[in-house]
A = this chain, B = another copy of it.
């Protein structure tokens, strides 16, 4: 019978004839194959009887080769593994020329592996990262499903440019060189595929609100896009976002939901992905050793995840945060690039990091921001100057979650849209939600890749998504 490496290493099936397929990770002493099939970070050792194996076959057992092995699972005589396969026959399914194969059993830089992203999941680090990404995705769906939320696919192509979260990519099937023009000499998007100008979505929130106002609790988990020229280790042009939206829930409930959600999905991987996490924990430790002591993290990867799961997030109003920042050492000594002078200032990532990493040393939920630095749809507080917004800041990552209670009052929302020159005509359906059976409701957005970065300890967002899209790069 055919098994996976994971099954062989964890189930009690010794001394039965077994078959297995996999790729050679290493071959030493003309005898010991380290075989991997992706089912676990661990390899299984296959012991070849080299005296009775064709020399020509032995030569083809090279790193990266695909093989089919028959044998018996036996207790291992050697160190480092409990069981191993005593090989009775081996077939080479696909060769891998050691002179040419890019993924040699040595340390490759992440830059090199990004250029070979089609092969990088053949390394321990990237296979662990992608398994964790998959587990986290499942944990997301499981959390919401268990808690009565409905998954909703919001549209990717949008005719709206009022989503307001950033620069958009245009989607078109017009002739790129000679687009049809209207009487005014402008591109005639009426002749485009959808009969109007369309873009890639930057957020599914507005549509999610429509479903929340009928189905109660919904969430999206889909790709979103930013046509911004940010070449940083924390930005992608295409990334996946999770956006729950809940009717009859206020900002306090929103904070509770976000915190419970984060803890739940991180608990899930602690329980289900122990081996991958242990590998990445060690990897991060090795990486940190190359840094000066002062820059090293006080906690290991697994400790950081456990810390989030086990401790309450600190809830701090924007106003309190400004007080803390104004009186902070780096502000007084003008070490911040942006000095905090007064209430109303937008927080930069240097300020967020100070609050999270130096001051509170735990995840922080900031709430009740000044209205004029936040989006039009956020619920205005009774003070008339702050909105019921919240951001969740994580150590080492910065902003992980951004959310708010939504403005449910038709007149207040219209006034705000007018002030910001957002077309009522375009968002007629969004306004309808406030006309017919409006109610308090709230939600948040979480950039999935930021979560994967936190959970894997990877420092560059390009290394936690299969094929990153960034300015000047859409390879594969």
Q: Which of A423-442 contact B (CB under 8 A)?
A: 429-430, 432-440
Q: How many copies make up the complex?
A: 2
**Shortest Cβ distance from residue A350 to the other chain B in the assembled complex, whole angstroms:** 28
Q: Contact at B150–A131, with CB atoms within 8 Å?
A: yes
Q: Contact at A436–B119, with CB atoms within 8 Å?
A: yes
Q: Which of A64-108 contact B (CB under 8 A)?
A: 64-66, 68, 93-97, 100-103
The answer to whether A151 has its CB under 8 Å from any CB of chain B is yes
- Residues of chain B with a CB closer than 8 A to A160's CB: 476
Bound complex: CA A170 to CA B199 (Å): 11
- Residues of chain B with a CB closer than 8 A to A95's CB: 437
Bound complex: CA A167 to CA B6 (Å): 41
Q: Contact at B194–A186, with CB atoms within 8 Å?
A: no
The answer to whether A127 has its CB under 8 Å from any CB of chain B is yes
Q: Contact at B169–A177, with CB atoms within 8 Å?
A: no
The 8 Å CB contact of A439, one of B93, B187, B467, is B93
A38, A65, A138 pick with most chain B CB within 10 angstroms: A38
Q: Contact at B471–A194, with CB atoms within 8 Å?
A: yes
Q: Contact at A138–B145, with CB atoms within 8 Å?
A: yes
Given A64-B437, A151-B137, A155-B467, do A215 and B170 touch, yes or no (CB 8 Å)? no
Interface residue tally for chain A (C-beta within 8 Å): 104
A122, A215, A472 pick with most chain B CB within 10 angstroms: A215
**Shortest Cβ distance from residue A30 to the other chain B in the assembled complex, whole angstroms:** 20
**Shortest Cβ distance from residue A356 to the other chain B in the assembled complex, whole angstroms:** 27
Q: Contact at B153–A169, with CB atoms within 8 Å?
A: no
**Shortest Cβ distance from residue A139 to the other chain B in the assembled complex, whole angstroms:** 10
**Shortest Cβ distance from residue A268 to the other chain B in the assembled complex, whole angstroms:** 11
Given A154-B466, A157-B238, A171-B171, do A211 and B130 touch, yes or no (CB 8 Å)? yes
- Residues of chain B with a CB closer than 8 A to A292's CB: none
Given A93-B438, A169-B193, A195-B473, do A38 and B214 touch, yes or no (CB 8 Å)? yes
- Residues of chain B with a CB closer than 8 A to A153's CB: 133, 137, 223, 240, 465-466
Closest to A210 in B: B118
Given A148-B6, A471-B193, A472-B195, do A130 and B227 touch, yes or no (CB 8 Å)? no
The answer to whether A462 has its CB under 8 Å from any CB of chain B is no
Q: Contact at A466–B169, with CB atoms within 8 Å?
A: no
- Residues of chain B with a CB closer than 8 A to A225's CB: 156-157
The answer to whether A391 has its CB under 8 Å from any CB of chain B is no
The answer to whether A196 has its CB under 8 Å from any CB of chain B is yes
The answer to whether A232 has its CB under 8 Å from any CB of chain B is no
A23, A65, A66 pick with most chain B CB within 10 angstroms: A66
Q: Contact at B433–A118, with CB atoms within 8 Å?
A: yes
Q: Contact at B436–A64, with CB atoms within 8 Å?
A: yes
Given A100-B435, A194-B471, A217-B38, do A466 and B23 touch, yes or no (CB 8 Å)? no
- Residues of chain B with a CB closer than 8 A to A187's CB: 176-177
Q: Contact at A215–B127, with CB atoms within 8 Å?
A: yes
Q: Contact at A467–B223, with CB atoms within 8 Å?
A: no
- Residues of chain B with a CB closer than 8 A to A216's CB: 4, 37-39
- Residues of chain B with a CB closer than 8 A to A473's CB: 194-195
Given contacts A159-B474, A222-B222, A222-B223, 12 further A-B contacts (CB under 8 A): A4-B216, A6-B148, A37-B248, A118-B429, A130-B211, A134-B150, A156-B238, A157-B169, A170-B173, A171-B200, A198-B474, A223-B223
Residues of A within 8 A of B (CB): 4, 6, 21, 23-24, 37-39, 64-66, 68, 93-97, 100-103, 117-119, 121-122, 127, 130-131, 133-134, 137-138, 141, 145, 148, 150-160, 167, 169-174, 176-177, 179, 181, 186-187, 193-196, 198, 200, 207, 210-211, 214-217, 222-223, 225, 227, 237-238, 240, 247-248, 408, 429-430, 432-440, 465-467, 469, 471-476
